[in-house]
Amino acid sequence: MNKIFIRRNTLFVNKYPFNKKNTSFFFIIDNKLTYFFNKNFSFLNFNRIKYNTYVLEKGENDKSISTFKKILKNMLVNDIDRKSIVVSLGGGVCGDISGFVSSVFLRGVKLIHIPSTLLSQIDSSIGGKNGINYFTKNIIGTFYKPKAIYISLYFIKRLSLFIYLCGYSEIIKISIINNKELFDYINVNYRYIKKRKYKVLKNIVKNSIISKLEITSRDIYEKNNRVKLNFGHTYAHAIEKYFKYNISHGEAVWLGIRFAIYYSLYFKYTNYKNVIPILDILYKFKCFNLYKISKLNFKKIKKYIFLDKKNINNKLSFIFFNNIGKVSIKKINYFKIKRIFFDFKKKMFII
């Protein structure tokens, strides 16, 4: 299991493994956090600890083979070896590319995550999945656990409202799958969540992580139960690709959950009574660009849906909603998705 540390303010990073003089570090950093790095990791120079950095600047488009090759070249030039530690400092994109690089470079070097967004803290840094995009989302990847994850709520306080709300798409997802108590807690504490109260944030982050670990620890390689974590993601990944990744992952998941809810109603895996609380909480934590979404074109998006990793013989393992805390995995073919897609587009904001 990962060693996960949750802190309120700054990371106090000099108290952790970064002060080892006999270890070299390779930092992969989101360009928005270069100032934070220069300020909080200045002790590396003071203590003469060997380190190198690579800064990501393209967002989701950095999850590419070209960026992967550039990072590998940088690591080779700077003599990174098997005793070195790769450190990701940033959101989900940074964590994904860092995890993939760490897992394949010299057949695996140690990895530490410092996730800087709510979404990456409760989801993408947990469970050991990582990857890069090639034609579609995360089609190339490995399972590789980090040595440690350092979570600071300092970052959450400084997120824009939109990026902050995007994190709740994944929190709502995990609560729908297997944690009704977390779902109810989010509903009851909505006012304090909007104000980003520390105690409430800590409880939400901690319980979201526990919920995800309960699933991933029993199914590391996504053979059975872990597939449920893809609830809402079939549609989400397709629209991310459709918009050339110029849409937030949380925004896409928000829409993907509605997509899954509508399909669950259509195929009678649930009823409106069970769906109403989901629609209510999605409205509270809405994060989407209505203008962009109104431009969706199924003729273009359909091919991305079936580039999904779960597509086997033109059938997808689709996660249907039953009730809060319970979902089910069923096979669904392309023609069924196509038949009701247009109806969903008309009703996705009113169901």
Q: Summarize pLDDT for 233-286 with one digit per residue, the tens.
A: 988 988 888 888 888 999 999 989 998 998 899 889 999 999 999 999 999 998
Q: Alpha-carbon distance 304 to 82, whole Å?
A: 38
pLDDT value for 241: 87
Q: How does pLDDT run across 100-123, given as a tens digit for each residue? A: 999 999 999 999 999 999 999 999
The active-site residue out of 137, 237, 241, 258 is 237
Report the Cα–Cα distance between both ends of the chain, in Å, rounded: 40
Q: Tokens 């530690």: give the residue.
A: 85
Q: Is 268 known to be catalytic?
A: no
> What is the tens place of the pLDDT at every residue in 165-178?
999 999 999 999 99
Considering the domain architecture, whether residues 89 and 186 belong to the same structural domain is answered as no
pTM over 0.85: yes
Domain endpoint, select from 157, 190, 211 = 157
Active site residue 237: yes
Look up residue 304 and give its amino acid.
Answer: Y
Q: Would you call 181 a catalytic residue per the annotation?
A: no
Catalytic member of 113, 212, 241, 258: 212
Query: How many folded domains does the chain comprise?
Result: 2
**82 catalytic residue (yes or no):** no
Low-confidence ranges of the chain (pLDDT < 50): 1
Selecting among 113, 233, 258, 309, the annotated active-site residue is 233
Residues 271, 343 share a domain: yes
* 218 a catalytic residue: no
- The answer to whether residues 137 and 176 belong to one domain is no
pLDDT given at position 112:
95
Same domain, 165 and 153: no
Regarding whether 173 and 146 lie in a shared domain, the answer is: no
249 is catalytic: yes
The CATH number of whichever domain residue 263 belongs to comes to: 1.20.1090.10
Is 170 one of the catalytic residues? yes
C-alpha span between 183 and 335 (Å, rounded): 33
pLDDT of the residue at 65: 96
> Is 240 an active-site residue?
no
Radius of gyration of the chain from its Cα atoms, rounded to whole angstroms: 20
Of 226, 228, 241, 309, catalytic: 226
- The verdict on 69 and 169 lying in the same domain is no
User: Does residue 166 share a domain with residue 61?
Assistant: no
What CATH number is given to the structural domain containing 138?
A: 3.40.50.1970
Range of the domain at 165: 161-347
**Last residue of a domain, which of 138, 157, 176?**
157
Task: Out of 157, 176, 211, pick the residue that ends a domain.
Answer: 157
- Is residue 199 domain-shared with residue 341, that is, in the same domain? yes
Q: Are residues 49 and 179 in the same domain?
A: no
The residue from 129, 173, 228, 241 that is catalytic is: 129
